[in-house]
Structure 1
């Protein structure tokens, strides 16, 4: 079977589009499960961090759904701008929620209880999300899809949140440092705002692969973090 690089530009685009749809489906499926587990465990332990993590999964599902909607059409490029705006709004919503909940947690004197389920979930997500984000970003860059690259950043942000959640829950369980998680989460909120601005302005990626002539990847003529 010929490799993706050995195919014509049109064939490569079709293969990469199918790959992105598969990655989006995996992202949505995992995050639905993650959201249910995190919100349930958060309510049980009284952890705003866990509940926030679960709601982040819901937002990530909306971002992935926007990419799925784009590539469900016959001409994904025509839907790209709208999909990018949906992803950007998802980032802004996440930043707003994390900021509000972090401040509330800092002002609340009641700490969350130990949550074994939360610790396991954060560790599993920390192991899975980097690879999934890399696969999304690579396929998106090769196809020249700004939305796929922007969604990969949403997945990567989930990795950061997983690390924050894991450290926060661990410090709270071991030392009773209930302030550790919300402080780190505020940093994540700042990152989310930056990524949202990039997605809104379409800075996630550059030119798409042409349908004729020499194959050109997004990485060949990109900006920002793609250089």
Structure 2
């Protein structure tokens, strides 16, 4: 009978957690694409900057999930350490760019509504996806954080924080739509959209800084130094 060594147990656990982390991100990608479709459609139909902006941020979340799937699948398939670092660098760079696009889009939508002073309409599809997200996002954030700890993956933990920020944004958008609907405060909707901007911009800065800090060639240099050291 073959006995499993502690190292094999450790490798098996990591592969299992990589697989589960990947499927968590696949679920996140599927749900965020649903958020984008429903919220942007409802936002454009009703003229809600907050809903459209929230959908734009969900698109960034989708990009984050997609790059994390690519990153985790690579390690799951056994690519080298240098390739893992390269995938991490590319993923963070893509995220930084996506965040920058989201900030520009949100500012354009919100400022346009302030200029036109157009009150948003009301759409139950938009409200519905926001209410569902209040429940789904904390579950996804918890799962990402758990597998981030088990895999010692800063990227997964970072993505979990990003999902929690999306939860905060959901609450802000709901409040803005409620004030516009029931109190007639037309400015509450674009104001809610603008409240999202600092968080999206900060996440973009953090992602860009982390991308610059990753050096795939450092792993090779460390390996060569170990080989030549006495």
Secondary structure of the residue aligned to 2:119 is: coil
- The alpha-carbon deviation at position 65 of structure 1 amounts to 0.5
Equivalent of 2:97 in 65, 89, 93: 89
Report what 2:116 is aligned to.
Answer: 108
Q: Distance in 2 between matches of 1:96 and 1:34?
A: 20
Which residue matches 1:35?
36
For the aligned residue pairs, the C-alpha RMSD in angstroms reads 2.3
Task: Find the residue that maps to 1:202 and give its secondary structure.
Answer: helix
More relative contact order, 1 or 2 (CA 8 Å, 6+ apart): 2
CA distance in structure 1 between the aligned counterparts of 2:117 and 2:194, rounded to whole angstroms = 18
Return the alpha-carbon distance in structure 1 between the equivalents of residues 178 and 116 of structure 2: 19
Unaligned runs of 5+ in 1: 1-6, 204-227
Q: Which has the higher helix share?
A: 2
Corresponding residue for residue 225 of structure 2:
none
Normalising by structure 2, we get a TM-score of 0.78
Who is 2:52 aligned against?
51
Q: Which has the larger radius of gyration?
A: 2
Once residues 194 and 141 of structure 1 are traced to their aligned partners in structure 2, the CA distance between those partners, rounded to angstroms, is: 23
Q: Distance in 2 between matches of 1:198 and 1:141?
A: 20
- How far is the alpha carbon of 1:138 from its aligned partner? 2.4
Deviation of 1:187 (Å): 2.6
1:10 counterpart SS class: helix
Q: Which runs of 4+ in 1 moved over 4 A?
A: none
Cα 1:202–1:99 change in 2 (3 A) is same
Among 155, 170, 178, the alignment partner of 1:170 is 178
